[in-house]
A and B are shown apart, each in its own frame.
Chain A
Amino acid sequence: MHPTDFTLRGALDALTEGTISSVELTQAHLDGIAKLNPRLNAYVTVTAEKALAAAKASDERRAAGQVGALEGIPLAIKDLFCTAGTRTTAGSRILDSFVPPYESTVSQKLLDDGAVFLGKANLDEFAMGSSNTTSASGPVENPWSRANDPDTRLVPGGSSGGSAAAVAARLALGATATDTGGSIRQPAAFCGIAGIKPTYGRCSRFGIVAFASSLDQAGPVARTVEDCAILLKSMAGFDPKDSTSADLPVPDFARACERGVKGLRIGVPKEYRLDGMAPEIVALWEQGLQWLRDAGAETVEISLPHAKYALPTYYIVAPAEASSNLARYDGVRFGMRVTEPGSDLRDLYERTRAAGFGAEVRRRIMIGTYVLSAGYYDAYYLKAQKVRALIRRDFENAYADVDAIVTPATPSAAFGMDEKQDDPVAMYLNDIFTVTANLAGLPGLAVPAGLDAQGLPLGLQVIGRAFDEETVFAVGRALERAAGFSALPRLRAGA
């Protein structure tokens, strides 16, 4: 077996048994990166020397009997997490040369548990996008391709496209990601892997470049549900440096995976049966529900009457918060600066921000600035926060009757790099099934569940109650077991 074919769980077992070392495991992944990253562009920065030194230190700790929960496991870190001494770009020109002097809480927790960082994963600029085509470091390619059309290069989804592509192509055993409207779950589904956005407050946001603070959550992507559970256990936990961090114990998520679904009531939102939905997506959804019934769960139709307003609500709240958060990029304290001879301070701000931000980021800052501007705040932002309260209430009502909700993860499989790029609203519709969980703050897991007619992966989504990731993992694992998803992308290490 090639070392890059291990699951994270399998690699931990092999390291424990001594059949492989962290240095060997890390080197195999670095070899895969050297071979495939020039094409996939999944990594923005590869920290090969640091990774090998960390792997060697991990092997020494293991030999001395000090074994962390992720001891020696090579991971990719989305380039939105600040990493001390390693450039962190957020996929933006404006942070092109930014080297954080501090470490994000989530990445520090992974280091504390013995993980090895291979490098920083590509992403849409400031995590704004659903295709990973807005990165200043160039687009990421999905390692999958259509069976009947292998030459059309597909997007990996976004914004965590580099994380998802790296894990799918076996260039990391797992990766950190973030999800503001679907940025973990949509790329996971497009790349045939699993990914969970936990409950808002479960993972600290300290040291993660902010996009929309009331929606942003960190989470893992990995090739199995159990691997996600192992990673989330390490990433999660209370952090006094994040005022919205939840002061709650972190359960043993991996153990919850094997709970089974017998007796669970699974909600099926009728509003998610969209007009014109691809028949393959409808069929996969039905199949998933049947798998759960076969495993002893009961499926129940529920109603989320305000779900259809989720995307327009999101496209007020997220740009508004982004326009505030991104005000810090002023060309003065860090990041790039652009001036002309004779520029005054205002001109410095305006030139720096015009040159430093890409088109999608500029567009969202302007929308956000408008909806927050004097005279329009009530009509837009306040209205959206009221609709958001109704969306959360819809879920509260549903969870009086069901334990979890199952939906498709995305309205389609991965699309071509040149498709859907002209119309922002068409691009935004990618998040139609995922964005409600961000607005309501709830956990959502994407699980690979099947292939479309062209051989591309499709995912299902499990949405849970607040802070009940355990049930989400149990349902996700049951779907994963029944689906037996074993297809592989064409581009992958060791192939």
Chain B
Amino acid sequence: MSLDTATIRRIASLARIRLDDSEVEQAQAEINGILGWIEQLQEVDTDGVEPMAGGSPVAQAKARLRPDAVTDGGQADAILANAPDRQGEYFGVPKVVE
């Protein structure tokens, strides 16, 4: 399957990556090249195969649960320390609601 330029634009939009008109064709060629190469997986018979979930080498590794209790918090300054636009105790963004 080969993706058209409209699909490339839609993917970029979903990924929130601005793509200039001049970049669409190159992205299209590269992504189609990679998808064409990936296509060979369709020849593998996977009927009845349980898909792997997570990266554990041990099948059905159990998820751990911890007590449902607060273990951290009260660190507003540390959390905001790298904010590009800090507004008091908040992250600043362009106006969202008119």
Which A residues lie at the B interface, using CB under 8 A? 97-99, 101-102, 199-201, 213-216, 240, 243-244, 247, 306, 309, 312-313, 315-316, 323, 327, 330-337, 339, 343-351, 353-354, 357, 362-363, 365-367, 369-370, 373, 379-380, 382-390, 392, 423-425, 438, 440-442, 466-467
Q: How large is the interface on B (under 10, 10 to 19, 20 to 34, 35 or more residues)?
A: 35 or more
Contact between A350 and B17, CB atoms less than 8 A apart? yes
**Which of chain A's residues have a CB closer than 8 A to the CB of B16?**
327, 330, 346, 349-350, 353
What is the minimal beta-carbon distance from A87 to any residue of chain B, in angstroms? 10
Extra inter-chain contacts (7) besides given A244-B56, A370-B31, CB under 8 Å: A316-B41, A323-B15, A343-B94, A366-B27, A367-B31, A389-B50, A438-B55
Partner of A373, one of B11, B19, B33, B38: B11
Q: Check A440–B57 contact: CB distance below 8 A.
A: yes
8 nearest CB pairs, A to B: A441-B57, A214-B55, A334-B82, A385-B51, A466-B57, A337-B84, A350-B18, A354-B18
Specify which chain B residues have a CB less than 8 angstroms from the CB of A423 in the assembled complex: 33
What are the residues of chain B within 8 A of A425 when measuring CB–CB? 33-34, 37
Asked if A345 and B84 make an inter-chain contact with CB atoms under 8 angstroms apart, the answer reads no
Given A332-B84, A348-B93, are A370 and B3 neighbors across the interface (CB < 8 Å)? yes
B6 interfacial contact with A, CB 8 Å? no
The answer for the CA separation of A137 and B19 in the assembled complex, in Å, is 23
**A252, B63: Cα distance in complex, Å:** 27
> Chain A residues near B79 (CB, 8 Å)?
101, 333
Whether the pair B57, A392 counts as a contact (CB closer than 8 A) is yes
- Rounded to whole Å, the gap between the CB of B10 and the closest CB of chain A is 8
Q: Would A424 and B33 count as touching, CB distance under 8 A? A: yes
Please, which residue of chain A has its CB at the minimum distance from the CB of B36?
A425
Q: Is the CB of B33 within 8 A of A334?
A: no
- Indicate if B69 sits at the interface (CB-CB under 8 A): no
- Cross-chain contact of A380 among B18, B38, B56, B66 (Cβ < 8 A): B38
Given A390-B46, A425-B34: A366 in contact with B17 (beta carbons within 8 A): yes
B41 touches A373 (CB 8 A): no
Docked Cα-Cα span, A373 to B95, in Å, equals: 29
Which of chain B's residues has its CB closest to A396's CB? B59
B70 within 8 A of A: no
**Which residues of the other chain, A, contact B39 by a CB distance below 8 angstroms?**
312
Segment 46-98 of B: residues with Cβ below 8 Å from A: 46, 49-59, 61, 63-64, 66, 75, 78-79, 81-85, 91, 93-96
B3 to chain A, nearest CB (A): 7
Contact of A370 among B11, B30, B42, B66 (CB under 8 A): B11
Residues of B within 8 A of A101 (CB): 75, 78-79, 81-82
Q: Which residues of A contact B35 (CB under 8 A)?
A: 367, 370
Known A-B contacts A101-B78, A354-B19; A200 and B56 likewise in contact (beta carbons under 8 Å): yes
Complexed CA–CA distance, A343 and B85 (Å): 14
Is A335 a contact partner of B82 (Cβ separation < 8 A)?
yes
CB A305 to nearest CB in B, in angstroms, measures: 10
Q: Write out the residue numbers on chain B whose beta carbons fall within 8 Å of the beta carbon of A213.
A: 55
* B50 contact set on A, CB distance < 8 A: 386, 389
Contacts of B84 in A (CB 8 A): 331-332, 334-337
Interface centre among A345, A351, A369 (most CB of B within 10 A): A369
**Contact assessment for A344 and B94 in the assembled complex, using a CB-CB cutoff below 8 Å:** yes
Chain A residues, CB < 8 A from B3: 370
CB <8 Å contact, A243 and B64 = yes
30 CB-based A-B contacts, threshold 8 Å: A97-B82, A101-B75, A214-B55, A240-B66, A243-B63, A247-B64, A309-B40, A312-B37, A312-B39, A315-B37, A332-B85, A333-B83, A336-B84, A348-B94, A353-B18, A357-B17, A363-B27, A363-B34, A370-B31, A373-B14, A383-B41, A383-B46, A384-B41, A385-B51, A386-B49, A386-B51, A386-B52, A387-B41, A392-B59, A440-B57
**A292 vs B74: C-alpha distance when bound (angstroms):** 57
**A101 to B34, alpha carbons, bound, how many Å?**
38
Max chain A C-beta neighbours (<10 A), residue from B50, B52, B81: B52
